[in-house]
Amino acid sequence: MSTLKFHIPRISCGHCTRTIENELKEIAGIQKVESDILAKTVTVDFQAPASEDQIRATLKEINYPAA
C-alpha cells in the first residue's frame, strides 16, 4: 500500500473535505482518505489499481486540484 499527501489550496470548509473524500473513495484501490481543513491537505492510502495520476486527475476534475 502507498500513502500520499496532497496540498489542496481550495479546501475551505467541511463541505470541501466531504466532497473530496467521497469522490476519491469511489476510485478502486483507495483504502483511506483523510482531510485536514487547517493544513489544506488530503492524505490518501491506496493500492493498485489506483494511482497517483488517477487521484490527481480526479481532484482536478472535481475542481480541487492538488498544488
Query: What ranges do the domains of the chain cover?
Result: 2-61
CB 2 within 8 A of CB 55: no
> Which of 54, 50, 63 has the alpha carbon at shortest distance from 20?
63
CATH number of 2-61: 3.30.70.100
Q: What is the DSSP string of 48-64?
A: TT--HHHHHHHHHHTT-
Q: pLDDT tens string for the chain (67 positions)?
A: 999 999 999 999 999 999 999 999 999 999 999 999 999 999 999 999 999 999 999 999 999 999 9
pTM (global) more than 0.75 = yes
